[in-house]
Amino acid sequence: MKELMFIGGLVVVACIVEFSKTFGLDFQTSLWVLCYLVLFAFTVYALTEYLYIKIATILPLMAVGFLACWVPAYDFWSINEMRSLGQYAYGANRVMWYANGWYQIGIGILIIVGGYAALYYLEQEQ
């Protein structure tokens, strides 16, 4: 049994390493992103299976939730982008636009409002 758990752990670590290589992330950031994605998937599953909520009614929220799972990756990519531009290119504590919290909140609000407006429009067409 211990051998099987060890092999399973190696497979999980190998998948995380491959994920981090694919997206250009370090191991810790990849682990956080994958944990958030798994938690997101379980939440969507619970909402649709146990609370009987239709996927169409929560689709804009799902899009924002999926994008929110990638926030650690946005931060990691932003830090590396700033290092490549030079320390004094935009100041010491600046981040790229996609890692700025205000932009992320604004994009999330746009997706939610636009998504529910589209759902409302599609329901009126029927």
Which residue range is the domain that position 120 belongs to?
A: 2-125
**Could you identify the residue written with the tokens 């969507």?**
44
% of the chain beyond a pLDDT of 90:
67
The SS3 of residue 40 is helix
Q: What is the pTM of this model?
A: 0.83
Domain count, the chain: 1
- Whether the predicted pLDDT of 53 surpasses 80: yes
Question: For residue 117, what pLDDT is reported?
Answer: 95
Spell out the residues 6+ positions from residue 16 whose beta carbon is closer than 8 angstroms to its own: 27, 30, 31, 34
Residue range 89-105: mean pLDDT, rounded: 78
Name the average pLDDT for the chain: 89
